[in-house]
Amino acid sequence: MWSFSNIANNIHAWLGNNFNPTMTLVIEMVLAGVAVIGLFAGLGLVLVIMERKVSAWMQIRLGPNRVGPKGMLQSLADTIKLIVKEGLTPDGADKFLFNLAPFIAMIVAMLLMAPIAFAKDFQLWDLNIGVLFVSAVSSIMVISILMAGWASNNKYSLMGAMRSGAQIVSYELSAGLSILTIVVLSGSLSVSDIIYSQADGWWIFKGHIPVLIAFVTFIIAVTAETNRAPFDLAEAESELTAGFHTEYSGMKFALFFLAEYVNVFIVCAIGATLFLGGWMPFHIGSWEGFNQVMDYIPSSIWFFGKTFFLIFVIMWFRWTFPRLRIDQLLNLEWKYLLPISMINLLIVTAMAILKWHF
């Protein structure tokens, strides 16, 4: 199976030969940080143009088609516009919190990148509670949204922030219970252990109907957690102008905008890792010949292919379903998804104890 481990080992060996251990560690951390920032920038450009092209395809129109070949440089043009645009701060705003909020959103997104395995042996931090780390850190995102809404001194912003708080706190429960189903089946909180537990088949296939239910619940819940349509009440343009970031402009708005798309990538990466095997190729039990053919496809291709497939599904939601009312949104979570998730977790627990999965 293809691996990036040789590249990482060569860099580590070269640094170790030329610097002392402390400096080597510092340089490796700096390189990792620069790589994550570069990945953020790339994801922002790719996902924005992907969103526009997917929406155009759904609505049978062309989408961006002026800047660059087939409009592929439209995202770059928008980025340049946001960089040179003046950032304004309202007179009545709490300036410190107003300016701090978008940076917290980006910091949280960067922290969530740490335990994700992008390819075989290519992971920033393989900690033994990776899934718990992701669940805990992702909940901090709501603080930046509440901070932005309150500090803006704008009623629309505050209303959007309060909606987002209620929405994220609610749907975190279903997302967490869906994640627990895979933790129970794999017997580990480590991301790498969960991936290796799917060497003989992805959990969505060998976990029967309960895992399929958990997967559907997870996709719905993370769509709501990332404030994506049809759960975009925090940014409802027809009601709240732009929701919690109404007063933001320039690069501060760009940071919120980028954080939203990066969060979509992260939740889809987590979904691909838990339910679709992450970087693990598609294996079927003891079919050695078939499995060896699948191993020829690079692990990074498997990971990004699965992740972008889930991103496409979430974008598909946006251009298919109308926006829910706030009461419909909360009813869906508390009356349907949460009870289903709790019962489903009990079934999965019994299934794991009795070894009823493949």
> Is residue 111 predicted with pLDDT exceeding 60?
yes
Alpha helices, DSSP H only, in the chain?
A: 5-18, 21-58, 74-84, 95-112, 130-138, 141-151, 155-186, 191-196, 203-206, 208-225, 237-240, 250-275, 288-295, 299-318, 326-331, 338-353
CA distance 51 to 56: 9
Mean pLDDT of 84-106: 87
Q: Is there a contact between 127 and 115 (Cβ–Cβ < 8 Å)?
A: yes
CA distance 194 to 280: 10
> Is residue 3 predicted with pLDDT exceeding 60?
no
Band of residue 1 on the pLDDT scale cut at 50, 70, 90:
very low
Identify the weakest region by mean pLDDT among 54-58, 194-198, 294-298. Answer: 294-298
User: What percent of the chain has a predicted confidence (pLDDT) above 70?
Assistant: 96
pLDDT of residue 302: 92
Q: What is the pLDDT of residues 165-180, one digit of tens each?
A: 888 888 999 999 999 9
Contacts with 54 (C-beta within 8 Å, 6 or more apart), sequence order: 312, 315, 316, 319
Q: Is there a contact between 169 and 126 (Cβ–Cβ < 8 Å)?
A: no
CA distance 246 to 239: 12
CA distance 261 to 303: 18
Mean pLDDT of 131-154: 89
Compute the C-alpha angle 118/121/125, nearest 5°: 70
> Is residue 12 predicted with pLDDT exceeding 90?
no
Q: What does pTM read for this prediction?
A: 0.91
Q: Give me the residue spans of the domains in the chain.
A: 85-353
Torsion 220-222-228-232 (CA) sign: positive
> Is residue 70 predicted with pLDDT exceeding 50?
yes
pLDDT of residue 358: 64
How many CA atoms lie within 13 Å of 338's alpha carbon, on the beta-carbon side?
12
14 burial via Cβ count (<10 Å: 0-12, 13-18, 19+)? exposed
Q: What is the pLDDT of residues 123-133, one digit of tens each?
A: 888 888 889 99
pLDDT of residue 221: 94
For residue 280, CA distances in Å to 194, 198, 203, 294 come to 10, 7, 11, 9
Residue 7 CB: number of other CB atoms within 10 A?
Answer: 11
Residue 330 CB: number of other CB atoms within 10 A?
Answer: 15
